[in-house]
Amino acid sequence: MDKFNGLSLEAHRIASIPQIENLMALHSYYHAANMNSNELTDIWSKEQPDEVSWQQNFGFWKSMPHMSLYYGEGHWDTGLALREQIIEARPELKDDLMQPDMDVRRLVEMPVHTLTTSIVEIAEDGMSAKGLWYTPGYALRRNYLQDTASACWMWEKYGADFVWENGEWKFLHIQIGMDIMADYGQSWAEPKPMGAPGGPPPAGGPGGPPPEEAKPAKKEAPVGKDGKKLKVAPSMGGGMACPPDGPGKYSVYSRTRIPTEYPKIPEPYTTLSETFSY
């Protein structure tokens, strides 16, 4: 393990801030491309597989095996099944969809969580860091079977712990607090449930099952142009591949919700064991 002291420690702490910003951006871009499994392999802690965790409105997953099941896996299977359905319903797309560089994971949806409003605190010992971001994001979803598209806003807070491992920063914990989920053209103050008429469509794929407070009103099998129902891909529509290890601690906006400090605002600190954890 690297140890820093004196001016080297200060240089390391200064240089670490843009490195942490880059790491967080890489998370966003991997996620937008549905490369969640690549993300877990490339930028999450390898030395603390039992300690890593992921928390969002509707649950808490601890350890890399659980995170992998919940967040990392399933996009390939979903994408392959979806591609099969699309080709069946719309054979004119077959040439495009069978191109060698077609990454079927991306057919599921395009969740873009942009990063703004950052606070990054590097521990005094230079071995960990904390960050908080606001993410005005959106998800673009296409129903290839019916040749339609939709987009919904997803505005969230990200709080994350990072650790310095073998000369690189890695994720250790992340907390995600979703404030807003509303279809474009709809007010977030009066959101409609996902899947309900006028509401955002159901979340697709294992990037996250629908939050408890916004579950689809009724799950319908996709319908092809000929009106026939088609089979549903394995994890489309929010099949939960791994039950949470604990409850979530945040909810989307409602008229009865009071603003809370979640995730917590980072403060200067000495070492990770002496402060709060995300």
Partner 1 sequence: MTDYEALQSAYDIYMIKNVMGRHAYHHALGDHRAELDEIWSQRDDISWGNNMGFWVGRETMYNYYADAKEVQDEATLKLMAKANPKIEVKKENFQLGALLMHSLTTPLIQVANDGKTAQGMWYSLGQVTNAGPDGKASGQWMHERYAVDFIKEGEDWKIWHFFVGTDLGCEAGKPFTGKFGPAPGAEPDPQAEENRKAMMAIMEALPKPTIPMELYHCKYGWHNEPHFPRPYATHTAEISYGPEKYL
Interaction site with partner 1 (CB under 8 A): 7-8, 11-12, 14-15, 17-18, 21-22, 25-26, 28-30, 32-34, 96-97, 101-103, 105-110, 112, 114-116, 136, 138, 140, 142, 148-151, 183-186
Strands (E), the chain: 53-56, 59-62, 110-113, 116-122, 128-143, 148-165, 168-183
Cβ distance to partner 1 smaller for residue 19 or 48? 19
Q: Are 233 and 81 in contact (CB under 8 A)?
A: yes
Of 69, 148, 144, 150, residue with least CA distance to 111: 150
Cβ distance to partner 1 smaller for residue 30 or 278? 30
Cβ distance to partner 1 smaller for residue 66 or 157? 157
Distance in Å, CB of 198 to partner 1, minimum: 9
Of 162, 152, 153, 109, residue with least CA distance to 134: 153
Pairwise CA distance, residues 9 & 15, whole Å: 10
**What is the amino acid identity at position 114?**
T
Pairwise CA distance, residues 5 & 23, whole Å: 24
Of 39, 43, 63, residue with least CA distance to 53: 63
Three-state DSSP state, 183: strand
Cβ distance to partner 1 smaller for residue 207 or 248? 207
Distance in Å, CB of 11 to partner 1, minimum: 4
Cβ distance to partner 1 smaller for residue 75 or 130? 75
The tokens describing 255, both together, are: 């008229």
**What is the amino acid identity at position 225?**
K
Distance in Å, CB of 105 to partner 1, minimum: 8
Q: Are 76 and 4 in contact (CB under 8 A)?
A: no
Distance in Å, CB of 185 to partner 1, minimum: 4
Distance in Å, CB of 255 to partner 1, minimum: 22
Distance in Å, CB of 269 to partner 1, minimum: 21
Q: Are 39 and 67 in contact (CB under 8 A)?
A: no
The tokens describing 233, both together, are: 């891909």
Distance in Å, CB of 116 to partner 1, minimum: 5
Residue 150 pairs in a beta bridge with 141
Cβ distance to partner 1 smaller for residue 66 or 132? 132
Cβ distance to partner 1 smaller for residue 27 or 173? 27
Q: Are 250 and 262 in contact (CB under 8 A)?
A: yes
